[in-house]
A = this chain, B = another copy of it.
Amino acid sequence: MAGKIEARLQELGITLPDPPVPVASYQPYVVSGNQAVIAGQVTFLDGKLKYVGRIGETISVEQAEAATRLCALNVLAQLRAACGGDLDRVVQVVRLNAFFNCTPDFQDHPRVMNAASDLMAEIFGDAGRHTRVGVGVNSLPLNVPAELDGVFEIA
């Protein structure tokens, strides 16, 4: 790959992980029309969960940021696969949705979600400027601290 986005990833020192294999009977991505829709990604790295636990209990805000960034890298890994390997096909990051496994007193969703949002802006520039929704929940699959999904316009 000698694409612009791959070059940008190298410049930023970012290596996308291998796209995680779904833990159940669904697809990691679907392309419909000009949209690549990515399934909820969690904190898998090399086939293992790197972050497990609840924000406000066993997961600090800093760890939550790192966990969310890892979710975003997994979203991008699936997006690359959805684009047949060519991230230059990404026209616009349309939407990111984040769910945080947290205690009821947690209020720092915007700060933690910036770990995903800033990554998109760094990599895609203006095309990375997206809408988002980020909320706290009381339970996530496998007790991960964060789950992130997204919708991307592709060419």
Contact = CB atoms under 8 A, between A and B. Distances in A.
B131 A139 contact: no
B136 A104 contact: no
Interface residues of A, number: 60
A134 B32 contact: no
A124 to B, nearest CB: 12
A140 interface: yes
Given A109-B140, A110-B141, A143-B107, A26 B135 contact: no
Interface stretch (A2-10, A13-21, A60-68, A113-121): A113-121
A153 B33 CA distance: 9
Contacts of A113: 24, 26
Interface of A: 23-30, 32-35, 37-40, 54, 91-97, 99-100, 102-111, 113-114, 117-118, 121, 129-143, 147, 149, 151, 153
17 contacts: A24-B111, A25-B121, A27-B130, A30-B131, A32-B35, A32-B92, A37-B95, A37-B131, A37-B151, A99-B133, A102-B139, A107-B139, A134-B141, A135-B137, A136-B137, A137-B137, A137-B139
